[in-house]
A and B are shown apart, each in its own frame.
Chain A
Amino acid sequence: MSVSEKATFRSSGGVRGWFGRQPVWVRGVVVAVALVLAFLLPYAGDIPLLGPQIVTEGIDWPSALFNMSYYVLLALGLNVVVGYAGLLDLGYVGFFAVGAYGTALLTSPDSVLYADTGWKWLMAVPVALALTMVAGLILGWPTLRLRGDYLAIVTLGFAEIIRIFATSTTTLRGDRGFASIPHPPGEWGGKPIFGVTDAVPYFWLGLVVIILVILGVRNLDRSRVGRSWLAIREDEEAAEIMGVRTIKYKLWAFAIGAFIGGLGGVLFAGEQGFINSQTFVLQFSILVLAGVVMGGSGNMAGAILGGALISYIPDRLRGISLGDTDLYEYRFALFGAVIIIIMVLRPQGLIPSRRRAMELKDREKEVAPQ
């Protein structure tokens, strides 16, 4: 299967077809250049003419970039659950919240555990991530029997329950939240790298994490695990009959998705230094899902683009006014309209997964004339 697929991929036109035909060293150079450009993004404002059009006005550009980086992380994680394994998860923000709250509980002076723990940020990270993976398993285990839309409502409920816990229990402090969560460690020339004013190091940290996640997920996708996810997504019964252990791999999808979402939460808590229950509203996970599908569900490049867009569009609209109305007020309304337009014009997403695109071509032949 993989051989013939590679052949069609290479012979296809477009940028990806060209990329696939190049020798290894050309591909290496292209990737390296792309990476360098990504790391230089905070200075995009210095490009003559084009720069000022790109950077955000109402929020400083590195902060906007950091926001984009954790949205992209969330989109990558959700892409594993929705795009690869085909499990519709409407409550993904729950894992983001578990990661952030795990960090806060272990590090913030406001936490009840502070006397016993009061850890540095880096020490809290593995524990918080383990916690989110457990949360993923806890959500995954009872919901394995459910399919499609039933799963959607249960995951939605899971996120709601986490939010309600965060709002209503004294341990998690509700609106008051946790303050003084420590920043990531590191010093440069006597000053801490991760300070309060400059968001550039946070963006770079986010970028490094994103790259590691991409490498990890790409390898998973090409392994037995990835093939099992694909089989489950396409036809669960058939996969089961062919000997794919569906329960095991669905649990894996949940746990890995949760892990990546938790990473986003941990980074978020480390940058903000403060979280409360207002941060983790349900609309958030719906936004991320919209990003994944808009970018192209099942394709990492698509998920990255979608995740970046859902953060960039509203931030870009900040501080722009037409007449005397501030467009920032209308950002989500405009965003809703943009989502509809993109999906109507490109139902397969902006950068569709190759396999998905082929499926869609097949489906289009099946359309009965209306």
Chain B
Amino acid sequence: MDFSGLINDFGPLTVSGLAQGAIIALFALGYTLVYGVLRLINFAHSEVFLMGTYACLFVWGLFGLDQNSAAPSVGLMLLYLVIGLVGAIIASGATALAVELVAYRPLRRRNAPPLAFLITAIGASLFISELTGVLTHRNQKGVPPVIQAKPLFTIGDTTVTNLQLLIIVLALVMMFLLDRFINGSRLGRGIRAVAQNPDSAALMGVNKSRVIGLVFLLGGLMAGVAAVMYNLKIGVTRYDAGFLLGIDAFAAAVLGGIGNLRGALLGGLLLGVLQAYAAGLFGSQWLHAASFVLLVVILLFRPTGLLGESLGRARA
């Protein structure tokens, strides 16, 4: 145990934890959205994220960027960022919809038991990640230095880099947009209605299939944004990147209360920060163990997560 390390690095650990947590939170939204509406864990969501990371690299590759290229100027940097985001969002959204069509819709038609959905999602997840693994020879792929982390400003002895700030702000903006969409728009009202009671919603003229497709798509979009930020922060991606971060994201969704959008944000940020502290205190190999112990302790006292489950019961 390294208490002095934790106390000395408290500021930097907090900031890097928040950045990691922001990525986890966006990723966790996909789990929470699907769970809120279907009451099912979308196991294949980790691969939705994975496709985002590779699509982003692919698009940057089209522009001749690889991990050895020089850092671009500010204008180009923004352009690349937007292009990468668009590419990742399209790929992740398409993957999410494909998963819905192949692994979920046929079972829903037959009113299969919930476990069957879990298994088809596991099958889809295995298929995508293993195919990626074989096609990339299980090597990791480096990310071009589109954004170089530069210290932006300092609070006390804590330096915040432009990358960390970008990640946190972008995540908050995406969260805000999603929250407005779900709680403020007509389509969002449809989603909340189906989450509350699918049959009544169908009787009231909500197209259930379309709402479910929309929910998968929204989760995919958020995962796409998370994928680009992950690329920029971590600098490499691999065929199992989605699976490993997916466990964190799922834990974050449960921590905040699965099915609850704001819970996902809270859970993600909390988990990111706590993992950073745990890494500082015990060493980075214990980071996941610490976060799971914490999860168990919190669930003991609040069995439905910090904010409770409530996509359907969201404020009217």
Contacts and interface: CB of A to CB of B under 8 A. Distances in A.
Interface of A: 82, 88, 142-143, 145-147, 149-150, 152-154, 156-158, 160-161, 164-165, 167-168, 282-283, 286, 289-290, 293-294, 297, 329-330, 332-333, 335-340, 343-344, 347-348, 356, 359-360, 363-364, 366-368, 370
A347 B126 contact: no
Contact of B300 (A142, A160, A347): A142
11 contacts: A157-B295, A161-B288, A164-B289, A167-B285, A336-B124, A343-B107, A344-B106, A348-B113, A348-B116, A364-B110, A370-B209
Q: A286, A339, A368, A370 — which one has the most chain B CB atoms within 10 A of its CB? A: A339
A153 B254 contact: yes
Given A145-B300, A336-B123, A347 B209 contact: no
Contacts of B127: 333, 336-337, 340
Interface in B102-139: 102-103, 106-107, 109-113, 115-116, 118-120, 122-128, 130-131, 134
A54 B14 CA distance: 57
Nearest to A345: B106
Q: Is the interface of B mostly helix, strand, loop or mixed?
A: helix
Contact of A157 (B103, B199, B296): B296
B230 interface: no
Given A294-B119, A337-B123, A149 B299 contact: no
Contacts of B54: none
B111 A367 contact: yes
A154 B300 CA distance: 11
Contact of A152 (B41, B113, B130, B300): B41
B110 A143 contact: no
B115 A340 contact: no
Interface of B: 35, 41, 102-103, 106-107, 109-113, 115-116, 118-120, 122-128, 130-131, 134, 199, 202, 208-209, 243, 247, 250-251, 254, 258, 283, 285-286, 288-289, 292-293, 295-296, 299-300, 303-305
Contacts, number: 144
Nearest to A154: B296
Given A149-B258, A160-B288, A368-B202, A363 B107 contact: no
Contacts of B103: 340
Given A164-B286, A347-B116, A145 B292 contact: no
A37 B41 CA distance: 41
Nearest to A167: B285
Contact of A329 (B109, B134, B199): B134
A293 B118 contact: yes
A343 B251 contact: no
Contact of B134 (A286, A293, A330, A338): A330
A347 B110 contact: yes
B120 A157 contact: no
A289 B296 contact: no
Contacts of A367: 109-111
A73 B124 CA distance: 25
B111 A366 contact: yes
A154 B299 CA distance: 9
B113 A356 contact: yes
B120 A165 contact: no
Contacts of B305: 150
A303 to B, nearest CB: 13
A161 B251 CA distance: 14
Given A337-B123, A360-B113, A157 B292 contact: yes
A82 B107 CA distance: 20
Given A160-B289, A293-B118, A363-B111, A150 B299 contact: yes
Contacts of B125: 336
Contacts of A347: 107, 110, 112-113, 116
A150 B283 CA distance: 27
A335 to B, nearest CB: 6
Given A82-B115, A146-B303, A343-B119, A157 B251 contact: yes
B120 A343 contact: yes
Q: A147, A333, A337 — which one has the most chain B CB atoms within 10 A of its CB? A: A333
Contacts of B111: 360, 363-364, 366-367
A360 to B, nearest CB: 7
B285 A164 contact: yes
Contacts of A161: 288-289, 292-293
A164 B119 contact: no
B32 to A, nearest CB: 11
B126 A332 contact: yes
A341 to B, nearest CB: 8
Given A153-B295, A368-B202, A293 B115 contact: yes
B268 to A, nearest CB: 14
Contacts of B295: 153-154, 157
